[in-house]
Chain A
Amino acid sequence: MKKLLPALAACLLLALSSFMMLRTAATGYQVGDKAADFQLKNVDGKLVSLASNKAAKGYIVVFTCNTCPYAKAYEQRIIDLHTKYAPQGYPVVAINPNDPAVAPGDSFADMQKRAKEKKYGFPYLQDESQEVARQYGATRTPHLYVVSRQGNDFVVSYIGAIDDNSEDAKLVKTKYLENAMTDILAGKPATVGATKAIGCTIKWKKA
């Protein structure tokens, strides 16, 4: 028993420390949670919130950035999602949570340049304080959240990946997000509500 106590204490300490080190993995939204609204600056200089588009039934909120190879690999697919789902009431809202001090190339000016070059038809917002990414529990780029309007609230109805092949859109077999959207647009909960994907870690501000 005497031997067991230090071991237990060590285990507890380890569990605590790894919990503290994992900044966001275990926190943030789950499917079914209410998503808080935000006010973030768009590349056109105007503030954008979820409430500001009265016609939206919901949004495809995507944490993305200029610099991550995975975000770049998915950029065209994100543009296509907006083209497909905005007319059905679910436009894309892209949010860049990276600290430009850590990720040069993700400055507001770089974001403006990218949105213009690629003719983004959706807002591209800077999460300067990184509060929104933390609230949602985003850990990587790209990281998607579908939120659906319920009365005055927005409820999280899908979290995760776009599809099953980041390298080559032509080799995709399962379109996770589109499958979820089919359910959501039919007023049903997504059969697969949460998926995982690899991405670049969000470039958090150095404490």
Chain B
Amino acid sequence: MMHKFILLALACCLLALPGQAQRVAVVRLPELQRRLSQPSDTTYVVNFWATWCAPCVKELPNFEQLNRAYAGRKVKVLLVSTDYASQLDKKVRPFVARRGLRSEVLLLNETDPNTWMDKVDSQWSGALPFTLMINNKRQKRASFEQEFTQPELTAALQQFLQ
């Protein structure tokens, strides 16, 4: 019995090691709205993605890179998964762990996009990936319904920060 327990503990440790990945918080819309309406001078780069969305998965490293490059410069990358909440343990957590994602990851637990998408951004037609840049103190906001290459993303942020 003890033997089994030690093995289990060891397995847990091993699983937790790669990349020290972020945990994934599950939020409903009001919580996400609260996060995005902070009156601070931090620029939020909010990327809406999903594990099943190929272009999203392809561009995630660019957001991770941005997160690293702008560490300590009042830029916060927020990766909001639109995967079904039922897929949290099956797909999302393993994905985040496997990729060792360091940016904060949230899972938006809402079932009907028609009730919440406009509240996130009225420009968003529904295609993924979708990215918002928000700075509430400077009352700036930009939205991008597109996939980013690394140079495109950096350029978009630099333009936003000017």
Residues of A within 8 A of B (CB): 10, 13-14, 17-18, 21-26, 69, 137, 139-140, 143, 160-161, 164-165, 167, 171, 174, 176, 195-202
B-side contacts of A164, CB under 8 Å: 111-112, 114-115
B144 touches A18 (CB 8 A): yes
Q: For the complex formed, measure the closest distance between the CB of B159 and the CB atoms of chain A, giving whole angstroms.
A: 6
A198 touches B128 (CB 8 A): yes
12 further A-B pairs in the complex, CB-CB below 8 A; given A25-B123, A69-B52, A174-B112 = A10-B159, A21-B156, A22-B144, A24-B125, A25-B125, A140-B126, A140-B128, A198-B117, A199-B127, A200-B128, A201-B128, A201-B145
Q: For the complex formed, measure the closest distance between the CB of B133 and the CB atoms of chain A, giving whole angstroms.
A: 9
Q: How many pairs of A and B residues are in contact by the CB < 8 Å rule?
A: 86
B114 touches A161 (CB 8 A): yes
Residue of B nearest to A69 (CB): B52
Q: For the complex formed, measure the closest distance between the CB of A201 and the CB atoms of chain B, giving whole angstroms.
A: 4
**Bound complex: CA A23 to CA B145 (Å):** 8
B7, CB-defined interface residue at 8 Å:
no
B-side contacts of A174, CB under 8 Å: 112
B143 touches A18 (CB 8 A): yes
Q: Which 6 A-B pairs have the closest CB atoms?
A: A201-B127, A164-B112, A140-B127, A139-B125, A139-B127, A69-B52
Residues of B within 8 A of A (CB): 50, 52-55, 82, 84, 86, 111-115, 117-118, 123-129, 142-147, 156, 159-160, 162
Name the one of B128, B144, B156 contacting A199, with C-beta atoms under 8 angstroms.
B128
**Bound complex: CA A176 to CA B50 (Å):** 24
**Bound complex: CA A174 to CA B115 (Å):** 11
A161 touches B113 (CB 8 A): yes
B159 touches A197 (CB 8 A): no
A10 touches B146 (CB 8 A): no
Q: For the complex formed, measure the closest distance between the CB of B119 and the CB atoms of chain A, giving whole angstroms.
A: 11
A196 touches B111 (CB 8 A): no
Q: For the complex formed, measure the closest distance between the CB of A132 and the CB atoms of chain B, giving whole angstroms.
A: 17
Q: For the complex formed, measure the closest distance between the CB of B78 and the CB atoms of chain A, giving whole angstroms.
A: 18
B145 touches A197 (CB 8 A): no
Known contacts A140-B125, A201-B55, A202-B127; is-contact A23 B146 (Cβ 8 Å):
yes
Residue of B nearest to A167 (CB): B84
**Bound complex: CA A24 to CA B123 (Å):** 11
